[in-house]
Amino acid sequence: MRFLAREEWSALRAAHETAVDALLRDHLERRRRGRKHPVEDFLFEYYSFRPGQLRRWHPGAGVVLQDAPPEAGYTAVEGGVVLDLDAFLARRSATVDFVRSLLTATASRPAQLGCFGLHEWAMVYRSPETRHEWPLRLGGAATDAVVEGRGVRCSHFDAFRFFTSPARPLNVLQPSRETQVQLEQPGCLHATMDLYKWAYKLSPLTPSSLVLECFRLAKNVRELDMRASPYDFAALGYEPVRIETPEGRAEYAATQRGFAERGARLRTALLDVCAHAADVGTIAPM
């Protein structure tokens, strides 16, 4: 067990809240005004973790907060409170097991960096409608030609399921929910972005500092995803990564490699959270 004095955990909590407030200020202001942003709002539309949940600080398992008041999910011990790990695992052990199996399998594979973000292009392929109310940089016919010329190499089911019907046969894989553990690989932008999902799915077992790191990475990944997409977001300040050109593909792969390296470290940290859940002994409640 690790013990944090009141002044220590109070400072950590305040720093976390300040960091989250800075990250979410624009999103919350847009929400108040009823405005939407196709890039930055995605993490709160696609993922289920709410801003208030992200803002709430948790130390993780096995950390005693000295002189802390009782709160839901924690159990009182001598001098403070600690996460009630037994109660958490009684509710969420299946989630812990799944996350551990998925992340272990993903980490065991080499990063594939040859997709060039064409999953977003496959989502508008030969379609009169687009998923975002923004123009296509190249227009419909030229966008379709890029998909046909490059092919699609998407291994992530939650991207593949949004492909248009004509685009699905063009993908070298046909991922499904059932094959998720067998197919996900660490170079995939969506698998990297989903580290945020697995971090918060394990909250409050996951320390909030790790959840926030995963959120920051997901935010960066989302920006690349949209910069490399067929949409023209220049009016929002996003310079396109022109993956239809050799230079754009090289830029995409280099940035993707950097995200994969960051993701590998966070994936290891999340696997440690899963492993430690079984190892942390509980202190007898008062």
- 175-184 long-range contacts (CB < 8 A, ≥24 apart) are 180/102, 181/101, 181/102, 181/105, 182/105, 183/155, 183/156, 183/157, 184/102, 184/105, 184/106, 184/109, 184/155, 184/156
Both tokens of 283, joined, read 């202190």
Residue with more model confidence, 277 or 81: 81
Q: What is the pLDDT of residues 24-61, one digit of tens each?
A: 999 999 999 999 999 999 999 999 999 999 999 999 99
**C-alpha closest to that of 117 among 137, 91, 87, 97:** 137
- The neighbouring-strand residues paired with 83 are 74
Q: How does residue 277 score in pLDDT terms, banded at 50, 70 and 90?
A: confident
The whole-number pLDDT of residue 281 equals 42
Strand order in the sheet with 80-83: 2-4, 63-66, 80-83, 74-77
Contacts of 270 (CB under 8 A, 6+ apart): 99, 103, 195, 198, 199, 202, 206, 210, 214
Residues 222-261 pLDDT 10s: 999 999 999 999 999 999 999 999 999 999 999 999 999 9
- Give the Cα separation of 185 and 223 in Å (integer): 20
Task: Please name every residue paired with 75 in a beta bridge, in sequence order, or none if there are none.
Answer: 82
> For the chain, what is the mean pLDDT?
94
Model pLDDT, residue 132? 80
Q: Which token pair is 282?
A: 């509980």
How is the chain split among helix, strand and coil, in percent rounded to 5?
A: 55, 5, 40
Cα separations in angstroms, 246 against 171, 180, 228: 21, 30, 13
Neighbours of 55 (CB within 10 A): 18
Whether the per-residue pLDDT at 286 is higher than 50: the answer is no
Cβ atoms within 10 Å, residue 37? 13
Question: pTM for the whole thing?
Answer: 0.94
Reading the block at residue 89, the tokens are 């695992």
**Token pair in block for residue 277:** 């859940």
In the chain, what are the domain boundaries?
2-279
Please, which pLDDT band fits residue 280 given cuts at 50, 70 and 90? Answer: low
Residue 282 has pLDDT above 70, yes or no: no
pLDDT computed for residue 285 by the predictor: 39
For the beta carbon of residue 174, count every other beta carbon within 10 angstroms: 12
- In this prediction, what percent of the chain has a pLDDT beyond 70? 97
Are 208 and 83 within 8 A, CB to CB? no
pLDDT digits (tens, 9 = 90+) for 184-214: 999 999 999 999 999 999 999 999 999 999 9
Three-state DSSP class for residue 2: strand
Average of per-residue pLDDT across 56-75:
94
